[in-house]
Amino acid sequence: MMGVEVVATEEVSWITPVGFQREKRAILERCLSGDHAAFEILVRENEGRVFGLLYSLTGNAEEARDLTQDTFIRVYRRLHLYDPQRPFMGWLFAVARNIYRDSMRRRKKTLSLEKLDEDGTLTLQDREVDAETAAIESESYSRVWEALQRLDPEQREILVLKDISDLSYADIAGILNVPEGTVASRVYYARRAIRNLLIEA
């Protein structure tokens, strides 16, 4: 594959992280030069993460798919505004966040999450469970969902970006245009707020 650095031994071949990043950069550069085929590759490689973010925010798969499509339409139209010196994923998630917030202005949104870890980290579950476990987790989910609805939008958003999308503090800082210290503080207080709400329930 052109542009990909491959390491080979007698037993295995793999793309190194350096080669992988070079390939990503090459695709992005082609997009910036107006290559439509490269943009299709860019969409395929990133639509899953964008969909995951938007699904976590909306709690609705169909709506998340629509917003994901809207996100990449906006990205296509505004790609010339992207600064190549900044991380692309941060810029892409910022576009998706703005698409979501635009939709929030049109109607009230809900957030669907499934678990609160002991350390206060919100995570999604994707596994098979028996009926008894499912019933217990369903009750826990309801409690978490109700608590999330009582959080202010800023706290909900920061939990989704950090604990669901698993973004770094640096990435979130770029998306929200705030210092990393502010991100860390918001995450801390949002986790504490939802823990307190669950204790009170």
DSSP classification of residue 85: T
Q: Which of 95, 97, 99, 69 is nearest to 81 (CA)?
A: 95
Please enumerate in sequence order all residues whose Cβ is within 8 A of that of 12, keeping only pairs 6 or more positions apart, or say none.
Answer: none
In a 3-state reduction of DSSP, which class is residue 167? coil
- pLDDT tens, residue order, the chain (201 aa): 344 343 443 343 344 444 546 778 888 889 988 889 999 999 999 999 899 888 777 778 888 899 999 999 999 999 988 888 888 888 898 899 889 888 877 654 333 444 445 455 555 444 444 444 444 444 566 677 677 778 887 888 888 788 767 788 988 998 888 999 999 999 999 989 988 888 876
Please enumerate in sequence order all residues whose Cβ is within 8 A of that of 3, keeping only pairs 6 or more positions apart, or say none.
Answer: 19, 22, 23, 26
The secondary structure of 125-153 as a DSSP string is --S---HHHHHHHHHHHHHHHHHHHTS-H
CA 137 to chain centre: 23
In this structure, the number of other CB atoms found within 10 A of the CB of residue 100 comes to 22
Alpha-carbon gap, residue 192 to 12, rounded angstroms:
46
Alpha-carbon gap, residue 69 to 66, rounded angstroms:
5
Q: Which CATH architecture has domain 111-201?
A: Orthogonal Bundle (1.10)
In a 3-state reduction of DSSP, which class is residue 7? strand
In a 3-state reduction of DSSP, which class is residue 112? coil
Given 3-state DSSP classes, what are the helix, strand and coil percentages for the chain, each rounded to the nearest 5?
Answer: 70, 5, 25
CATH 1.10.1740.10, the chain: domain bounds: 1-110
Q: Note whether 74 and 154 are within 8 A (CB).
A: no
At 129 the pLDDT is: 42
Encoding tokens for residue 51?
């969909």
CATH 1.10.10.10, the chain: domain bounds: 111-201
The dotted CATH code for 1-110 is: 1.10.1740.10
